[in-house]
Amino acid sequence: MDEGRHSMGYSLRNISFSYGDQKIFSNLSLSLESGQFHGVLGPNGSGKTTLLDLLAGHLHPREGCILFENQNIDEFSRRDMARKTALVPQDFRVDFPFTVFQVVMMGRYPHVGRFSGPSRADLDLVERAMIAAGVKVFAHRHVTELSGGERQRVVFARALAQNAGVLILDEATSSLDVKHSLSLMRLVAEKVRNSIVTAIAVMQDINLAARYCHTLLFLNNGGIAAHGPVAEVLTEDVIREVFEVDAKVYFDKEINCRQVMFL
């Protein structure tokens, strides 16, 4: 799944976005450097999922512009964006009884010609993605029969099979147990470290984000509360401002990173 791919970055310039009368972002400017693992944190309703949908090209800002690979994101077709960015959504529902293999194969559709079937290389990518996500053992089961956590791993495998330069994760570990959460995060971190992907992940678990991400972006009240390297922005003041809770931030020598204990 590496194919020597270069990572990609984003620049958001004075973007505003609303759902009807509900303003989500106003005059937001932000850069997300390529080749990094970016964690996005914030309370419910702070615009985390909306931000990911803007980055994936599923939504478009009302004002301002988003540059992707130094090009206005609006200039890319949906198929182009599907080749370059892979999104693992928070809530994946399939009512039709596709098999696990069929769902993961959907990740190859942006790359397969309209009138041609998948190639040997496509099938290899799908198999490697299923193995990496730990879902190959039930490749022929229907996704409708799987648990929420199993289904989430299938969607993650589909994103891996897409072989995109940007991996966008919307609370991808929320329905996973501890073992599979750590496994998924390690896998993403490894891909970032090997310059295969740029990862942008909305996360609820601050400690998991601090352990694996390079930068943290805290959203609150339609704007950026803090953004920068973990060691600089993961502070007690930021947590109090963003989440309205008291916490102790300390350095954990065992895992060599900052962690948070809520008081």
- The CATH number covering residue 86 comes to 3.40.50.300
* Cα 153-41-147 angle, rounded to 5 deg: 20
DSSP letter for 1, please: -
pLDDT of residue 247: 97
Could you tell me the residue range of the domain that residue 244 belongs to? Answer: 10-262
Q: Residue 7: its pLDDT value, please? A: 42
Strands (DSSP E) along the chain, which ranges? 10-19, 22-32, 37-41, 63-68, 71-72, 85-88, 166-170, 198-202, 215-220, 223-229, 247-252, 257-262
Q: What residue type is assigned to position 79 of the chain?
A: R
Q: Which residues, including other chains, have CB under 8 Å from residue 126's CB and lie 6 or more apart?
A: 101, 104, 105, 107, 108, 118, 161
The three-class DSSP label of residue 48 is helix
- The β-bridge relationship of strands 63-68 and 10-19 is antiparallel
Which residue ranges of the chain lie beneath pLDDT 70?
Answer: 1-8
Asked whether residue 4 is assigned to any structural domain, the reply reads no
Residue 167 resides in a domain:
yes
Burial of 5 (0-12, 13-18, 19+ CB in 10 A): middle
Q: Which of 96, 120, 257 is nearest to 185 (CA)?
A: 257
Residue 233 lies in a domain: yes
The edge-to-edge listing of strands for the beta sheet with 10-19 is 22-32, 10-19, 63-68, 71-72
Contact yes or no for 195/7 (Cβ under 8 A)? yes
Instruction: Let me know if residue 94 belongs to a domain.
Output: yes
CA neighbor of 223 nearest in space, from 51, 73, 87:
51
Number of domains in the chain: 1
Rounded Cα distance between 54 and 15, Å, is 10
Is residue 204 domain-resident?
yes
- The position carrying tokens 């090209």 is 57
Take residue 50 and report the two structure tokens written for it.
């909306």
Contacts of 104 (CB under 8 A, 6+ apart): 126, 129, 130, 135, 139, 154, 157, 158, 161
Tens digit of each residue's pLDDT (9 = 90 or more) over 87-99: 999 877 777 889 9
| Nearest of 251, 202, 220 to residue 32 by alpha carbon | 202
The answer as to whether 164 is a domain residue is yes
Task: Assess if residue 3 is contained within a domain.
Answer: no
Tell me what pLDDT residue 117 has.
82
Q: Is residue 250 part of a domain?
A: yes
